[in-house]
Each structure stands twice: as C-alpha cells, then as structure tokens.
C-alpha cells in the first residue's frame, strides 16, 4: 500500500505550481484537470500535465492526475491524452464525482485499451474514486468493489455539501446552527466501511481555509482518529500538518512494536495466547491493532525507542 497521508492538489493549468509541487514533502501529488482548471484552460492543462509528468522529478511521491467527471465532454480526451502521453510516469488516475460503479468500469476498460496500445503493463495504473454527492454515497459499496485498479475512496466535501444542500459555505467546518455532534460523521464512517470491506484506503478531502493550519489540524485529526489514511492538502502549509496527524505518535508506535514483539515471544516461546504486557492484557486482537499502527509508523519512517525484555 502506498503512503497517502498528504495528497497535494495542483491545478495543471499552472506550470509554476507544478514545479513547486515537486519540492514539497507530500506523499502524493495530483495534477488537476477538473475543478481547479477553468473550462477554457482544459486543453492546455492536459498538455501541461503530460510535460510535467515526463520532465518533472516526482521521485519519492505517488503521482496522479484527476480527470474531469463523466457528465462532461472532457473525460475521454483527458484519459487518452494523459495516459498515451505519460502513462509510464503515472501511478493513478483520480475520478471525481463517481455516482455509479459503471463509471469506474468505463475508466478501467479505457485504461486497459490504452495500456495494450502503448505496450504498458496492463493493470498497473490505479484508480482513486471521489465520492462527492448523495448518489455516490448511496452506491458506495458497489463503487468500492467495481475494479481491481481501485486503491482509495476519497471524500469530496465541497461538492458533497452542495449536493445535499448542507447550509454552510465553509468547507470542512460544521454548518452553523448544528451544535449536536459532527455533521460529517455518518459520511466519513460510511466511506470507511465501504473502503475497508474492499481493502481500500480512505482519504478525507480538502479544507479550504488554507491559512488556518490549526483548523486544518483539528479537522484532519478527527478523520485520522476514525481510521482515515490521509487528507488532501491545498497549500504547502498544510503538508507537514497532514504528515504529522496521519502518522502515529512516537509513543503509540513504540507501544505497537512492543505488543508485536511481546505477543510473538509469549505465543511461540511460552505458547500462551492471552498474556500481560505491563498492566495491559494482550491477545490476538491486540496484535491486529498493533499491526496497523506499526505499519503506519514504519511507512512514516519512525524508529523504535523502546525494546522488549521478557
């Protein structure tokens, strides 16, 4: 699984931003052909994306392109131009506003045809599906199971809030007047269940108050606590916050590695299944929880500061 703590959105219509994005420590960068690009700039943006993929240095990052959604006239040319032009440099396509599994199947089929034509490895390019309206959320289980290329489901809060008529203009924050609980809880949990039941990653969308890094951190921490793998970033200021929030703390990482080591020792050397680690009882379920935290910590480059002694 790729690390997707921070996913940086960059309009492909802006070559200066495409240069800058290569220098930022985001886990993933996507070159956008959709809503951050004006209709009259769409064609030029495709060419910019191909040039940036071919000539840029994206090493150490996952690199994706977001095409336009299937209700527009642009999608097929987006896919054909970008993948024929630079498919060998591309990890994933992001499909926005997915409402139905057939849309993902369409993209999967088109990708396969282009891969065969170009002599690329068939099936290597992945897909991320953005869920951005009520219909997409109602169909999310079928969407999550629609293609082996799918790697992640992504929440699109701005379009989603518009789609359900939520009464706010501040993306990612609670609607004024709603003081009980979290207005996004159901949506986030619904996406999480669909994603995990198909072994997909699940990503929170953008936070548009880009100068308010504390606000970003607060909203990101909520998604991270539920189990989300990462969140979009729209500005360099948000990148470090995302990487930090979606990595386990040093303390949790050490704890997880200790559980794994202790559990291995007690179950194999002592052949016991439920044992004490300090004041805490651990068993097979503890091992599974620890595996998740340890994997995220290792992916984030954390090192151990504690070792287990029986």
Q: Which residues make up the interface to Mg ion (CB under 5 A)?
A: 132, 156, 159
157 binds, among Mg ion, ligand GLV, none (CB under 5 to 8 A by kind): ligand GLV
Q: How far is the CB of 96 from ligand GLV (least distance, A)?
A: 6
Q: How far is the CB of 274 from ligand GLV (least distance, A)?
A: 45
Rule CB under 6 A: is residue 136 a binding residue for ligand GLV? no
Q: How far is the CB of 92 from ligand GLV (least distance, A)?
A: 15
SS3 275: strand
Can you say which residues are annotated as belonging to the binding site for Mg(2+)? Answer: 132, 159
Map the footprint of ligand GLV across residues 146-205, applying CB under 6 A.
156-159, 205
Q: How far is the CB of 225 from Mg ion (least distance, A)?
A: 24
SS3 59: coil
Residue 70 dihedral angles phi and psi, to the nearest 5°: -75, -5
Residues binding ligand GLV: number (CB under 6 A): 9
Residue 258, CA distances (Å) to 55, 61, 146, 188, 309 in order = 44, 30, 38, 31, 9
Calpha distance 125→167 (Å, rounded):
38
Can you say which residues are annotated as belonging to the binding site for substrate? Answer: 66, 132
Question: Minimal CA–CA distance to 31: which of 109, 90, 80?
Answer: 90
Say if residues 243 and 6 touch (Cβ distance below 8 Å). yes
Map the footprint of ligand GLV across residues 78-107, applying CB under 6 A.
96
SS3 36: coil
Map the footprint of ligand GLV across residues 113-132, applying CB under 6 A.
130, 132
User: Which DSSP category does 247 fall into?
Assistant: S
Question: Minimal CA–CA distance to 9: which of 304, 239, 275, 168?
Answer: 239
Task: Specify the residue, 128 or 151, whose C-beta has the smaller distance to ligand GLV.
Answer: 128
Rule CB under 6 A: is residue 206 a binding residue for ligand GLV? yes
Calpha distance 46→67 (Å, rounded):
9
Can you say which residues are annotated as belonging to the binding site? Answer: 66, 132, 159
206 binds, among ligand GLV, Mg ion, none (CB under 5 to 8 A by kind): ligand GLV
Task: Specify the residue, 205 or 248, whose C-beta has the smaller distance to ligand GLV.
Answer: 205
Residue 154 dihedral angles phi and psi, to the nearest 5°: -130, 125
**Six token digits for residue 273:** 């299944």
What residue ranges bind ligand GLV (CB under 6 A)?
A: 96, 130, 132, 156-159, 205-206
């Amino acid at each position: 699984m790729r690390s997707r703590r921070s996913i940086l959105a960059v309009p492909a219509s802006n070559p200066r931003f495409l240069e800058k994005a290569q220098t930022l420590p985001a886990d993933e960068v996507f070159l956008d052909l959709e809503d951050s690009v004006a209709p009259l700039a769409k064609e030029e943006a495709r060419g910019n994306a191909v040039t940036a993929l071919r000539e840029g240095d994206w090493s150490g990052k996952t690199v994706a392109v977001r095409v336009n959604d299937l209700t527009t006239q642009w999608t097929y040319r987006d896919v054909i131009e970008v993948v024929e032009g630079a498919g060998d440099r591309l990890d994933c396509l992001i499909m926005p506003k997915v409402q139905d599994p057939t849309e993902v199947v369409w993209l999967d089929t088109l990708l396969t045809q282009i891969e065969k034509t170009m002599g690329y490895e068939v099936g290597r390019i992945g897909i991320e599906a953005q869920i951005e309206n009520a219909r997409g959320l109602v169909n999310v289980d079928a969407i999550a199971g629609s293609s082996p290329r799918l790697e992640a489901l992504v929440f699109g809060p701005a379009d989603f809030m518009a789609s359900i008529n939520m009464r706010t203009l501040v993306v990612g924050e609670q609607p004024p007047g709603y003081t009980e609980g979290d207005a996004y809880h159901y949506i986030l949990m619904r996406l999480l269940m669909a994603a995990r039941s198909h072994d997909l990653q699940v990503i929170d969308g953008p936070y548009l108050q880009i100068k308010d890094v504390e606000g970003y951190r607060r909203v990101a921490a909520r998604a991270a606590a539920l189990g989300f793998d990462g969140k979009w970033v729209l500005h360099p200021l948000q990148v470090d916050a995302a990487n930090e929030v979606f990595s386990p703390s040093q303390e949790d990482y050490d704890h997880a590695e200790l559980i794994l080591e202790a559990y291995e020792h007690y179950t194999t050397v002592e052949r016991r299944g439920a044992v004490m680690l300090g004041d805490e009882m651990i068993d097979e379920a503890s091992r599974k929880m620890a595996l998740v935290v340890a994997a995220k910590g290792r992916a984030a480059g954390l090192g151990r500061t504690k070792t287990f002694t029986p």
